Each structure stands twice: as C-alpha cells, then as structure tokens.
Chains A and B, each alone.
Chain A
C-alpha cells in the first residue's frame, strides 16, 4: 500500500465526513461541571468497611454475641 492509496482514501473520507475542526462550543459548561462536582458519590472510608467486616465476622464466628450487640444498640 502506497502513500497514493492513503491519499485516495483520505479524499474519499473527507468527501463523506466534513472535518469538525471549526466546531465551536455553544454554551459555557461550567454550570454542568459544578453540578458534576456537587454530585460526587459519598466516599465511605476504608476503615468503616473494615469495621463492618469485623462485626460480620464476629457475628458469624460467635453468634452468642448477637444479644449483647442488640443490648448495646
């Protein structure tokens, strides 16, 4: 395949698809960006997950602690 083949294909593509290099942004996107920043998902710290995992593990291995757990809740 030669440079000529590439040039021919380029001509064909450009005939079918207009270049978009002159596209202009019609509106300010900062409000959308602010919305995105405000909608940040709540991040749960890793130690909260670790604590939850520890509680589940204790309940699984020592079911007898469940009444004590309810008592403290």
Chain B
C-alpha cells in the first residue's frame, strides 16, 4: 500500500508524509498564480487543510494524488485572487517596480493594471500560460477543464489585455 492509499484509508502519518513530500511543489504552483510568497505559504497550508477535509473523497485508483492536489491548490489560489482582486493585485511584482524607473516602470504599472481587469480565473490562466509557460495540458488538468477551454481562456485574456493596454497607450 503506497502513501496515497494509506492516506485514503485514514492513516494520519500518511497525511504528514504527503505534506512533507508535496509542500514545496504546492507552494511553487500557487506562487505562479498569486505571485506573493507570504500568501503562497498561507495558501499552501489552506490547500492541505482542504485535502485533509476531503480525505474521504480521494480515490487512489481514479487518478494521481499529485494531480488531485494541484487541482485543489489551483482552486485555493484562484479563490485568493477573487478575494484580493480589489486590494493589491500581484504584490511581489509591484514591490520590485523601483528597479524599472521612468517610462518602463509606467508601462509595467499599466500591464499590472490591465491584468487586474481580468477575472481571477482568466488571470490565473493567463499567468500560467503566458508568463510561466506551463503546458496547456497541465493547466487544463489543474483547472479541471479541457485543453480547448484553456486555449479559449488565453485567447479571451489576451484580447482583454490588448484592449486595456491600447486604452492606456501601450501597444504590444
């Protein structure tokens, strides 16, 4: 019996083993979406909390634990974007704006503002696909949608971004 099977059977030590094995991977995945290390740490714990509560729903034969975990982590990260949308989008990125003075810094701010106009789900997809260059198949699995749905979201996201950037006088 492997660790995921022991977890599904209710073994608390298996949960700790899985946490230690996957915490770094979950943190990195969430970081790609929320782009803030403090938030990503909290959301990693939140992800495993949801995993712990959903223990009974995990079926070892139905798919990999890693895939299931990434899907939960993606939902947690997108929920976070939804909550923090109005406040400060992408704080870690804004924090380094001092290294881009003048016109370049202004363009950067416009890009961040345009990204903030996207819905959390679109923003997450655009960040994963265009900035992090994750394969569409992986994004689709993480979002629980088809590859064509991911492509459509990227297309819609790009269209909105181009429109918002054009309004701000930034032309890609």
Give me the interface of A with B, judged by CB distance under 8 Å.
1, 5-6, 8-14, 16-21, 23-30, 32-33, 36-37
Contact = CB atoms under 8 A, between A and B. Distances in A.
Interface of B: 16, 19-20, 23-24, 27-28, 31-32, 35, 37, 40-41, 44-45, 48-49, 52, 90, 92-93, 96, 107-108, 111-112, 115, 126-127, 130-133, 154-155, 158-159, 161-162, 165, 170, 172
Given A23-B31, A29-B44, A6 B131 contact: no
B90 A9 contact: no
Contacts of A29: 19, 23, 27, 41, 44-45
25 contacts: A5-B162, A8-B172, A10-B130, A11-B172, A13-B111, A13-B161, A16-B111, A17-B93, A17-B111, A17-B112, A19-B32, A19-B133, A20-B31, A20-B35, A20-B132, A21-B28, A23-B32, A23-B40, A26-B37, A28-B20, A30-B23, A32-B41, A32-B45, A36-B45, A37-B52
Consensus secondary structure, chain B interface: helix
Given A5-B158, A14-B131, A17-B93, 16 more contacts: A1-B155, A1-B162, A5-B162, A5-B172, A6-B155, A11-B172, A13-B115, A16-B107, A20-B28, A23-B37, A23-B40, A25-B41, A29-B44, A30-B20, A32-B45, A33-B19
A3 to B, nearest CB: 10
A6 B32 contact: no
Contacts of B31: 20, 23
A30 B131 contact: no
Contacts of B158: 1, 5-6, 9
A36 B49 contact: yes
Contact of B108 (A6, A11, A16, A23): A16
B130 A6 contact: yes
A37 to B, nearest CB: 7
Nearest to A6: B158
Nearest to B27: A25
Contacts of A16: 93, 107-108, 111-112
Contacts of B154: 6
